[in-house]
């Protein structure tokens, strides 16, 4: 149980284009989903927290107009990187937390974004 998928797993795009990444909880309802960014050989940096049906809460320094998050259902959250630039190239990982009491987050496999 507690499987989280991400799509696509890898994407290469041109500078200036927008890219959408999907995060799905496959076998549980995720009341909260998180989006992280990971640079090579570094830890995860929390970008934003999204609760189903409400606006995402962004961490300090993360541009909400740049990284659009939509959590339209209890099993799907999307991250759209708008007008992507090479510095947005990174590994983006989502996680989902169900309505349990352990605060445990279950992670997706990640999406490697490369902006040319």
Q: Contact positions toward another protein, by CB under 8 A?
A: 2, 4, 6, 32, 34, 42-44, 46, 49, 93, 95, 102-110, 112
CB nearer another protein, residue 32 or residue 90: 32
Q: Shortest Cβ distance from residue 57 to another protein (Å)? A: 9
DSSP character string of 80-116:
EE-S--GGG-EEEEEEEE-SSSS---EE---EEEEE-
Q: Shortest Cβ distance from residue 1 to another protein (Å)? A: 12
CB nearer another protein, residue 6 or residue 77: 6
Q: Shortest Cβ distance from residue 2 to another protein (Å)? A: 8
Are 94 and 9 in contact by the 8 Å Cβ rule? The answer is: no
Task: For residue 3, give the nearest of 29, 42, 34, 39 by alpha carbon.
Answer: 29
CB nearer another protein, residue 96 or residue 115: 96
Say how far apart CA 51 and CA 56 lie, in whole Å.
Answer: 7
């Amino acid at each position: 149980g507690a499987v989280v998928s991400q799509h696509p797993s890898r994407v290469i795009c041109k500078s200036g284009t927008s890219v959408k990444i999907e995060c799905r909880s496959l076998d549980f309802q995720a009341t909260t989903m998180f989006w992280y960014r990971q640079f090579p050989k570094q830890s995860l940096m929390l970008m934003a927290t999204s609760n189903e049906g409400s606006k995402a809460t962004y961490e300090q320094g993360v541009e909400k107009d740049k990284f659009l998050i939509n959590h339209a259902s209890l099993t799907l959250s999307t991250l759209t990187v708008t007008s992507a630039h090479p510095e947005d190239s990174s590994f983006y990982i989502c996680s989902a937390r169900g309505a349990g009491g352990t605060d445990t987050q279950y992670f997706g496999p990640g999406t490697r974004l490369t902006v040319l």
